[in-house]
Amino acid sequence: MDSFIPTVLIVDDSAPLRLLYSTYLKDENVNVYSVSSGRDAIDFISSHRPDVIFLDLYLPDISGFEVLNYVKKQNLDARVIMLTGSGSVDDAVEAMRLGAFDFIVKPIDSARLRVTLRNTTQHLKLKQMVSEFQTSQDVFLGFIGSSPAMKSVYSTIERAAPSSATVFITGESGTGKEVCAEAIHKLSKQKKGSFVPINCAAIPRDLMESELFGHVKGAFTGAVSDKIGAVQRADGGTLFLDEICELDPQLQSKLLRFIQTGKFYRVGSSKLETVSTRIVCATNKDPKLEVRAHHFREDLYYRLYVIPIKLPPLRDRDDDVERIATRFLKNFSQEENKGFTRFSISARQLLMAYDWPGNVRELQNVIHQIVVLNDGDEVTDEMFPESIRKDVLKGGDGSSGAQPQRAVISVGNPYAGKTLAEIERDAIEKTIDSCEGNISKAAKMLGVNQSTIHRKLRSWRDEAQGKSAGVAESGTPEKNTACSGGSPRELPDNKIRITDRHSRRHDNGMVEYD
């Protein structure tokens, strides 16, 4: 905080006054600059971002009000102190109303100018301290954000970490499942041991057992020496099994045995080995649906699903989008040696309006791209990829590009003969349809929380599955791919088909939901 040296700009058309005020401040710990006109002031403000501006109300080209207005419109943190003659106090009061921090009536003596500067810089320092404190509150073991949804996640992590119970993390791709697993490790009793992540989807099936449990020399072609597996590397630490639902069924049973006993065999070995490791696993699928689809062993599911943590998608994390984007902007600007420090108002609106289907990872890539491909100190909405701008505009009213359109429902009598529940369902489906499957936008249009829509969709889905359960039981369960993320399953008694996170309406009236 002591290193903070404010930049001060003096705006006055009189050279003797500019020099005098600068001289008054020469012993203060500030960098002082001065300009003689309003336009020069705006140029300086735009390029140097001063912290304090002593601004004469009457300037030869444009009024001090216009300069003040510029500062406010740009949403700058600068504190503006109006300098005014004794006959212009009303104007100074008006300037205060418009956002000036203080005013001084001319003639100005040294003591008055210095005291005003000190009060102002003190205020700035306090604000910076608050901001630093808030930033520290925004960060939790690799996560950035302080939305209620994330605070709840942090709380669960803190409670779950010290226990030895298995944690099952779910969440869309890019929501930070590995960050969550590492956070649990860092807070756990095993934090001095290794954190060993292993992606069950990235390793070929044939090699997975060896990756997990290791092998001995000659166990298979290419096994030219003994190898320690992930479970052994994680002895005394944490084993993170990402994309657990992708694990081969045969291996699932071996993993279950290992979790139950802590014992395992290396591939090609008959020697039983024992380790003590904390298991954390994750998936971007719904594990219950995977169990129902017979892709994931039920016994393994119950063994692993002890403490569930559901990571919210970025679109459900309120202002976290802006916090995370700002952090990325700062980091990438530093990394790429660029001068970006902030987002314009329109860029912030875009950040908030877009749905970020790829979550934090997508946001990270977009900000990196912006920093690499552009120059300047402020990120504007034009710098965002066209696909994002188009997506937001499509969901907007076409004017600001940031606000979702209200759903328009015809008011003739389209619901005659329908129950209220049917009308509600119809309205929700049509709105989702008009939003091209975007639940978040649909919820905004309908003026409800998106969790309400998700709850209703779930109940309709459950209802549909209940009706079709008989078919699955007596028919061919291996074709039931409802939650595999692959080919969707049609549920004959319902309009819903389950695929990935977005929903779409088909020509036949069917809607796909996540």
Residues in touch with other proteins (CB under 8 A): 13-17, 19-20, 23-24, 58, 60, 85, 87, 106-111
Q: Which helix (H) or strand (E) holds 60?
A: none
Task: State how far the Cα of 179 lies from the Cα of 15, in Å rounded to an integer.
Answer: 58
Please provide residue 498's backbone torsions phi and psi, each rounded to the nearest 5 degrees: -105, 120
Phi-psi region of 128 (alpha: psi -120 to 50; beta: other; left: phi over 0): alpha
Q: How far is the CB of 107 from other proteins (least distance, A)?
A: 4
Q: How far is the CB of 64 from other proteins (least distance, A)?
A: 12
Q: How far is the CB of 110 from other proteins (least distance, A)?
A: 4
Q: How far is the CB of 7 from other proteins (least distance, A)?
A: 22
Amino acid letter for position 412: G
Q: How far is the CB of 105 from other proteins (least distance, A)?
A: 10
Closest to 169 in 3D by CA, of 318, 262, 304: 304
Q: How far is the CB of 93 from other proteins (least distance, A)?
A: 18
Residue 80's DSSP bridge partners are 53
**Tokens standing for 341?**
């420090």
CB nearer to other proteins: pick between 114 and 454: 114
CB nearer to other proteins: pick between 12 and 243: 12
CB nearer to other proteins: pick between 38 and 197: 38
The SS3 of residue 102 is strand
Chain centroid offset of residue 409 CA: 33
CB nearer to other proteins: pick between 111 and 421: 111
CB nearer to other proteins: pick between 89 and 139: 89
Q: How far is the CB of 87 from other proteins (least distance, A)?
A: 8
CB nearer to other proteins: pick between 27 and 473: 27
Contacts of 365 (CB under 8 A, 6+ apart): 358
**Any idea what DSSP says for residue 267?**
B
Task: State how far the Cα of 379 lies from the Cα of 386, in Å rounded to an integer.
Answer: 14
CB nearer to other proteins: pick between 25 and 80: 25
CB nearer to other proteins: pick between 87 and 222: 87
Give the angle 28-34-39 at the CA atoms, nearest 5°. Answer: 145
Q: In what order do the strands lie in the sheet with 504-505?
A: 489-490, 496-498, 511-513, 504-505
Q: How far is the CB of 48 from other proteins (least distance, A)?
A: 24
Would you mind telling me the total number of residues written for the chain in this entry?
A: 514
CB nearer to other proteins: pick between 106 and 368: 106
CB nearer to other proteins: pick between 15 and 126: 15
Q: How far is the CB of 40 from other proteins (least distance, A)?
A: 16
Cis check for the bond before 6: say yes or no (omega within 30 of 0). Answer: no
SS3 sequence, 107-174? CCCHHHHHHHHHHHHHHHHHHHHHHHHHHHHHEECCEECCCHHHHHHHHHHHHHCCCCCCEEEECCCC
DSSP 451-497: HHHHHHHHHHHHHHHHHHHHHHHHS-GGG--TTSSSSPEE-TTSSEE
CB nearer to other proteins: pick between 14 and 449: 14
Q: How far is the CB of 131 from other proteins (least distance, A)?
A: 34
